[in-house]
Amino acid sequence: MKVSTVHQTFFCDVMLGSLAKHLRMLGIDTKYSRSISESTLIKTSLEENRTILTRRTRFLKLKKPAPFCFINSNNPETQLKEVIKHFNILPDALEPFSLCLLCNRALEEVDKNLVENKVPDYVFNTIEKFSQCSVCGRIYWQGTHYKNMSKRVLDLLQGKR
Protein backbone atom coordinates (compact mmCIF):
# COMPACT_ATOMS: atom_id res chain seq x y z
CA MET A 1 0.00 0.00 0.00
CA LYS A 2 1.11 3.57 -0.61
CA VAL A 3 1.86 6.12 2.06
CA SER A 4 -0.59 9.02 2.22
CA THR A 5 -0.10 12.06 0.01
CA VAL A 6 -1.24 14.39 2.80
CA HIS A 7 1.72 16.71 3.39
CA GLN A 8 0.75 17.69 6.90
CA THR A 9 2.20 15.53 9.66
CA PHE A 10 1.15 15.65 13.28
CA PHE A 11 2.16 14.75 16.82
CA CYS A 12 -0.80 14.30 19.14
CA ASP A 13 -0.13 15.03 22.79
CA VAL A 14 -1.02 12.62 25.58
CA MET A 15 -4.65 13.80 25.68
CA LEU A 16 -5.37 12.89 22.04
CA GLY A 17 -4.69 9.17 21.62
CA SER A 18 -8.03 8.45 19.95
CA LEU A 19 -7.55 11.34 17.54
CA ALA A 20 -4.12 9.94 16.61
CA LYS A 21 -5.71 6.58 15.81
CA HIS A 22 -8.44 8.25 13.72
CA LEU A 23 -5.87 10.26 11.74
CA ARG A 24 -3.82 7.11 11.11
CA MET A 25 -6.99 5.35 9.97
CA LEU A 26 -7.24 8.04 7.27
CA GLY A 27 -3.60 7.48 6.32
CA ILE A 28 -2.26 10.68 7.90
CA ASP A 29 1.22 10.40 9.43
CA THR A 30 0.57 11.01 13.13
CA LYS A 31 2.87 10.30 16.05
CA TYR A 32 1.58 9.74 19.56
CA SER A 33 3.13 8.83 22.88
CA ARG A 34 1.50 8.42 26.27
CA SER A 35 4.73 9.07 28.12
CA ILE A 36 6.44 11.93 26.30
CA SER A 37 7.43 15.08 28.16
CA GLU A 38 6.27 18.44 26.88
CA SER A 39 9.85 19.49 26.07
CA THR A 40 10.48 16.28 24.09
CA LEU A 41 7.16 16.69 22.28
CA ILE A 42 8.19 20.19 21.21
CA LYS A 43 11.76 19.17 20.29
CA THR A 44 10.63 16.15 18.25
CA SER A 45 7.92 18.13 16.48
CA LEU A 46 10.42 20.80 15.46
CA GLU A 47 12.99 18.23 14.30
CA GLU A 48 10.44 16.29 12.27
CA ASN A 49 8.43 19.29 11.03
CA ARG A 50 5.24 18.07 12.72
CA THR A 51 2.36 20.15 13.97
CA ILE A 52 1.43 19.45 17.57
CA LEU A 53 -2.24 18.73 18.16
CA THR A 54 -3.13 19.47 21.76
CA ARG A 55 -5.91 20.09 24.26
CA ARG A 56 -3.48 21.63 26.75
CA THR A 57 -4.43 25.27 27.31
CA ARG A 58 -0.84 25.80 28.42
CA PHE A 59 0.20 25.81 24.76
CA LEU A 60 -2.00 28.84 24.17
CA LYS A 61 0.12 30.80 26.67
CA LEU A 62 3.53 29.79 25.31
CA LYS A 63 5.36 31.95 22.80
CA LYS A 64 4.74 29.53 19.95
CA PRO A 65 7.44 26.98 20.81
CA ALA A 66 6.49 24.86 17.79
CA PRO A 67 3.62 24.85 15.32
CA PHE A 68 0.53 23.63 17.12
CA CYS A 69 -3.22 23.49 16.81
CA PHE A 70 -5.44 23.65 19.86
CA ILE A 71 -8.26 21.08 19.67
CA ASN A 72 -11.48 22.28 21.28
CA SER A 73 -13.59 19.15 21.48
CA ASN A 74 -13.38 16.15 23.78
CA ASN A 75 -15.06 13.91 21.20
CA PRO A 76 -12.60 12.09 18.88
CA GLU A 77 -14.82 12.31 15.79
CA THR A 78 -15.43 16.01 16.36
CA GLN A 79 -11.68 16.45 16.93
CA LEU A 80 -11.03 14.75 13.60
CA LYS A 81 -13.46 17.11 11.88
CA GLU A 82 -11.67 20.07 13.49
CA VAL A 83 -8.30 18.89 12.11
CA ILE A 84 -9.69 18.19 8.63
CA LYS A 85 -11.32 21.62 8.48
CA HIS A 86 -8.44 23.58 10.06
CA PHE A 87 -5.80 22.07 7.75
CA ASN A 88 -8.10 21.85 4.72
CA ILE A 89 -7.39 18.16 4.25
CA LEU A 90 -9.08 17.00 1.07
CA PRO A 91 -10.53 13.51 0.66
CA ASP A 92 -8.55 12.96 -2.56
CA ALA A 93 -5.28 13.33 -0.61
CA LEU A 94 -6.17 10.56 1.83
CA GLU A 95 -5.28 6.89 1.66
CA PRO A 96 -7.34 5.30 4.40
CA PHE A 97 -6.09 2.09 5.98
CA SER A 98 -2.53 2.50 4.71
CA LEU A 99 -0.89 3.01 8.13
CA CYS A 100 -0.63 0.85 11.22
CA LEU A 101 -3.07 2.14 13.80
CA LEU A 102 -0.64 1.26 16.60
CA CYS A 103 2.75 2.49 15.41
CA ASN A 104 2.03 4.75 12.42
CA ARG A 105 4.14 2.80 9.92
CA ALA A 106 3.13 1.99 6.35
CA LEU A 107 1.35 -1.33 5.92
CA GLU A 108 2.65 -3.84 3.40
CA GLU A 109 0.73 -6.58 1.66
CA VAL A 110 1.75 -9.96 2.97
CA ASP A 111 1.33 -13.41 1.45
CA LYS A 112 -1.67 -15.16 2.96
CA ASN A 113 0.39 -18.23 3.86
CA LEU A 114 2.60 -16.11 6.13
CA VAL A 115 -0.32 -15.22 8.41
CA GLU A 116 -1.60 -18.76 8.92
CA ASN A 117 -1.78 -19.50 12.65
CA LYS A 118 -1.44 -15.74 13.34
CA VAL A 119 -5.08 -14.90 12.62
CA PRO A 120 -8.26 -16.74 13.61
CA ASP A 121 -9.00 -19.83 11.48
CA TYR A 122 -12.27 -18.35 10.21
CA VAL A 123 -10.45 -15.19 9.05
CA PHE A 124 -7.70 -17.20 7.36
CA ASN A 125 -10.29 -19.35 5.55
CA THR A 126 -12.51 -16.47 4.39
CA ILE A 127 -10.15 -13.57 3.66
CA GLU A 128 -7.68 -13.52 0.77
CA LYS A 129 -5.70 -10.29 1.25
CA PHE A 130 -3.72 -9.36 4.33
CA SER A 131 -1.47 -6.44 5.24
CA GLN A 132 1.08 -6.32 7.99
CA CYS A 133 3.09 -3.68 9.80
CA SER A 134 6.78 -4.41 9.32
CA VAL A 135 7.59 -2.79 12.67
CA CYS A 136 5.10 -4.12 15.22
CA GLY A 137 3.88 -7.11 13.19
CA ARG A 138 0.17 -6.36 13.56
CA ILE A 139 -1.88 -8.00 10.81
CA TYR A 140 -4.81 -6.28 9.09
CA TRP A 141 -7.54 -7.61 6.80
CA GLN A 142 -10.77 -6.36 5.29
CA GLY A 143 -13.37 -8.00 7.50
CA THR A 144 -16.57 -6.62 9.00
CA HIS A 145 -14.66 -4.15 11.18
CA TYR A 146 -13.02 -2.76 8.03
CA LYS A 147 -16.41 -2.32 6.36
CA ASN A 148 -17.78 -0.45 9.37
CA MET A 149 -14.69 1.77 9.54
CA SER A 150 -14.90 2.43 5.78
CA LYS A 151 -18.47 3.60 6.16
CA ARG A 152 -17.47 5.90 9.05
CA VAL A 153 -14.64 7.37 6.97
CA LEU A 154 -16.88 7.89 3.95
CA ASP A 155 -19.64 9.48 6.05
CA LEU A 156 -17.12 11.74 7.76
CA LEU A 157 -15.58 12.90 4.48
CA GLN A 158 -19.00 13.51 2.99
CA GLY A 159 -20.07 15.54 6.02
CA LYS A 160 -22.72 13.06 7.16
CA ARG A 161 -21.20 12.60 10.63
Residue-wise pLDDT tens digits, 11-65: 999 999 999 999 999 999 999 999 998 889 999 999 999 999 999 888 778 776 7
State residue 148's pLDDT score: 79
State the DSSP code for 4: P
CA distance 91 to 89: 7
**Structural domain boundaries of the chain?**
10-157
Q: pLDDT (tens digit, 9 = 90+) per residue, 61-104?
A: 877 678 999 999 999 989 998 998 899 888 888 888 999 999 99
